[in-house]
Amino acid sequence: MDSKVMLDIRNYSKSYGGDKKAADDVSLSVMSGDIYGFIGHNGAGKSTTIRAVVGVLDFTDGDIYIDGHSVKDEPMECKKITAYIPDNPDLYDNLTGIQYLNFVADVFGISASDRGERIKKYADLFEITDSLGDLIGSYSHGMKQKVAIISALIHDPKLLVLDEPFVGLDPKATFTLKEIMHEMCERGTAIFFSTHVLDVAEKLCNKVAIIKQGRIIASGTMEELTEGHSLEETFLEAENEQ
């Protein structure tokens, strides 16, 4: 399988007024088939970067390309091949789970048979099928997260962007999501996700970037970065060096 750059962040910066930058000259590339971990402290700039990647947050400096399309200039082209799972999914509480999934499937123009098959597959995997007829407002945080994940997988994206995807998931669902990520990666999907759980990142990712105060302080393949140490040690060392 030919590998190509699916996500290319070039000199991206974002400031919220004043001199302090939430993201400062961030550059990284995620290839198809990569599972790319994005790690850093709270407030390091992970979510800011992720929200800019998925076209939610505006930015002035640098550019972000998804499969060769600029997020700034061709946002629709980018969004059509990207799926985003936020850390705290704000879904429509007054829709049922199935109404929401159908809404997303309609947006992406998924045929009735494909969506039926995918929803069933993932809903069964996440053991949420029985609850799809209930209002999302009645769901727990984890259940909402599962619906958000299914909605992201429904259109078989080329780039999957996840912000702290394992927060709120039960152990079984965490395992299922990791399996799905592996399966997608084998099919050539690029996965870019932020996490605090370094053990997970170490086992799951082939590449990783460490961000501190908006700047990338280390990045590369897991082997290059850790050089035989654990990711936790590497992370703490990189943090201290800076």
Partner 1 sequence: MNSNNILLFKTLLLSTSQRNIFKYTTDKKKKKRIILAYVGLACLYAMLVGYSYLTTVGYGKFGLIGSAPALCALIISLLAFVFTFFKTNGYLFNFREYDMLMSLPFEASTVAACKFLYMYVKSLPYYLCISISVMVGYGKYAHPSVIVYPIWIILTPFIPIIPMLFSAFIGFLIARISSGFKKNNLIQTILTFAFVIFCFSLRYIIEYVFREDKLQETMDNLSQVTDDAASVYLPAKWFADSITKLGISDMLLLVGVSLVLFALIFRIVGRSYRNINSSLKSHAAAKNFRMTDQKKHSVEQAIAFKELKRLMGSTTYMVNGAMGEILAALLGIVTLIVGFDKIVAVVTQNAPFDYAMVYPAIPLIVYFFIGMVATTACSPSLEGRNYWIVQSLPITKTTLYKGKMLFNMYLSVPFMFFAILCLCISAKVSLIDMVLFLALGFVLCAFSTTWGCVCGIKHMRLDWENEVEVIKQGSAVAIYMFPNMFAVMILCVLVVIAGQYADQRVVTLVLILIAGLLSALSYKRAIKLAEKEG
Local structure of 167: helix, strand or coil:
coil
What is the nearest approach in angstroms of partner 1 to the Cβ of residue 145?
13
Q: Is residue 158 involved in binding partner 1 (CB under 8 A)? A: no
Q: Is 89 in the site for partner 1 (CB under 8 A)?
A: yes
Q: Which of 65, 84, 122, 193 binds partner 1 (CB under 8 A)?
A: 84
Which ranges constitute the DSSP H helices of the chain? Answer: 46-53, 75-80, 97-107, 112-125, 141-153, 171-186, 198-204, 222-226, 231-241
By CB under 8 A, residue 140 contacts partner 1: no
Q: How far is CA 234 from CA 25, 44, 151, in A?
A: 22, 17, 35
Residue 46 has phi, psi (to 5 degrees) of: -65, -55
Burial class of residue 15, CB neighbours in 10 A (0-12, 13-18, 19+): middle
Binding of partner 1 at residue 220 (CB under 8 A)? no
Among 4, 58, 182, 183, binds partner 1 (CB under 8 A): 58
Among 82, 219, 226, 234, binds partner 1 (CB under 8 A): 82
How many Cα atoms sit within 13 Å of 69 on the Cβ side? 18
Contacts (CB under 8 A) with partner 1, residues 164-193: none
Q: Which of 57, 167, 197, 200 binds partner 1 (CB under 8 A)?
A: 57
Q: Tokens in use for 52?
A: 């800019």
CA angle 224, 228, 234 (to 5 degrees): 70
Q: Does 95 bind partner 1 (CB under 8 A)?
A: yes
Looking at residues 96 to 115 of the shown chain, list those that interact with partner 1 (rule: CB under 8 A): 96, 99, 103-104, 106-108
Is residue 133 a contact point for partner 1 (CB under 8 A)?
yes
**Tokens coding 154:** 């429904």
Q: Which residues bind partner 1 (CB under 8 A)?
A: 16-18, 20, 22, 43, 51, 54-59, 75-76, 79-80, 82, 84, 86, 89-96, 99, 103-104, 106-108, 133-135, 137-138
